[in-house]
Amino acid sequence: MTVQIIRSAAIIGAGYMGGGIAQSLAAAGMRVTLADVSPEATQRALERLLAEARAFEDQGLIVPGSHERIMSNLTTASSIEDAVRDVDFIEEAVFEREDVKKEVLGRISAAARPDAIIGTNTSTIPVHVLAPMVSGQERFLTVHFSNPAPFIPGVELVSGTATKPEVVTTVREMLARVNRQSAEVADRPTFVLNRLQYVLFKEANTIIEEGIATPEDVDTIVRSTFGFRLPFFGPFAIADMAGLDVYVNGFVTAENAFGARLSCPETVKRLVSEGKHGVKNGAGYYGSYSREEAEELVAYRNRAYAKMAELLRELGPSPLEKKKRKTGK
């Protein structure tokens, strides 16, 4: 039997990922214990995290009172075993190497309470690779935060073959309490986030290697066009609004130029053949759209993009954009 509500946690690995997760949980009022490779390293990490939290609050990046809550709720332990011994949830956030994670997860599961939920923050390694190191695999899953953890709201949840559904439910409830959005994905290498991110990065590198554009210009195109939309909508919602029939036609050009790797997905062709072109004719990836729903969606989209443009004007160009302008690249 696992815990029903997570009220206390241990974060194992106090680097930028683990530290950011610890800050996030502690700021939300959870009791959090931190442990790293040695007591000295853990203490240094605590000092860094408290200083960061003070700076974040002074800059208005986190809500007032967060620094005080983190100071009150975040403590350290002298070892992994001491950190995990009596908490509801443990998050392993050590170096992204299979052998390192397996060794640490073995130590965690040997010392944790039998009902404690154990998560790993791996960004690429499947659950089934790591699960054999955990006693009580029904309580083990991937809980993948993104860097920087204090500010990025999305979290991937990946269950193993033995993970109990109630464990996922309990973790999702905890994440909601700390203002995080969670999505469940299947146990495949790189999951969803990095599979998409790596594909984009690989194609971007191919573009510069072919001499089509510079790294600076590729980044400009991404952040100021389709990337501009992504804080509000994912690729399927964007396709529904753009028109699935438009995508089919666009893929003809792409396939002619680049071959089968950029051929039109069968799902898109099927939807279009069924007369489902997206928002403009009332049906697409998101099912049916009434006229009122379509008008509401378009109005929200327009407000969102206008606000994003306003925010970017307020923030001004990033240091990288300033560098680009200065060097003329």
Looking at residue 1, its pLDDT comes to: 64
Cβ–Cβ < 8 Å for 56, 43: no
What DSSP state is assigned to residue 262? Answer: G
Domains of the chain, with CATH numbers? 8-185 (3.40.50.720), 213-327 (1.10.1040.10)
Report pTM.
0.92
pLDDT averages per 10-residue partition of the chain, 329 residues: 88 96 97 97 97 96 96 97 98 96 97 97 96 96 96 97 97 97 96 96 97 96 96 97 97 96 96 97 96 96 96 92 75
Looking at residue 321, its pLDDT comes to: 84
CA 9, chain centre distance (Å) = 20
Alpha helices in the chain (DSSP H): 16-27, 39-58, 66-73, 80-84, 98-111, 127-130, 165-177, 193-209, 215-224, 226-229, 235-242, 244-258, 266-273, 291-315, 319-327
Q: Are strands 89-92 and 8-12 parallel, antiparallel or unpaired?
A: parallel
User: Any bridge partners for residue 308, and if so which?
Assistant: none
Tell me the torsion sign for CA atoms 239, 240, 241, 247: positive
SS3 category, 276: coil
Looking at residue 328, its pLDDT comes to: 67
| The amino acid at 263 | S
Can you tell me the distance from the alpha carbon of 129 to that of 160, in angstroms, rounded to the nearest whole number? 9
Compute the C-alpha angle 323/326/329, nearest 5°.
80
